[in-house]
Amino acid sequence: MTDCNSHNNMPDKKRIKLLIDRYFDATASLEEEAELRHAVASCNDAEFDEIRAVLGFMAVKRGKQRKINRRHSMLTASAAAAAVVAVVAFIGLSDIGSGDVHSPGTCYAMVNGSRIDDEAQVLSLMQAGLSDICSEASDANGYIESQFNELCNSINDSKQ
The residues of the shown chain that bind other proteins, judged by CB under 8 A, are 74-75, 78-79, 81-83, 85-87, 89-90, 92-98, 100, 103-113, 119, 122-123, 125-137, 139-140, 143-144
Nearer to other proteins, 2 or 141 (CB): 141
As a whole number of angstroms, the distance between CA 46 and CA 59 comes to 20
State in angstroms the smallest separation of the CB of 147 from other proteins: 11
Nearer to other proteins, 3 or 100 (CB): 100
Half-sphere exposure of 119 (CA within 13 A, CB side): 3
Tell me if 3 sits within 8 A of 44, measured CB to CB.
Answer: yes
As a whole number of angstroms, the distance between CA 41 and CA 52 comes to 7
Phi, then psi, of 99 in degrees rounded to 5: -60, -35
Tell me if 107 sits within 8 A of 119, measured CB to CB.
Answer: yes
List all residues 6 or more positions away from 139 whose beta carbon is below 8 Å from its beta carbon.
none
Nearer to other proteins, 50 or 119 (CB): 119
State in angstroms the smallest separation of the CB of 84 from other proteins: 10
Nearer to other proteins, 25 or 95 (CB): 95
State in angstroms the smallest separation of the CB of 64 from other proteins: 16
State in angstroms the smallest separation of the CB of 4 from other proteins: 43
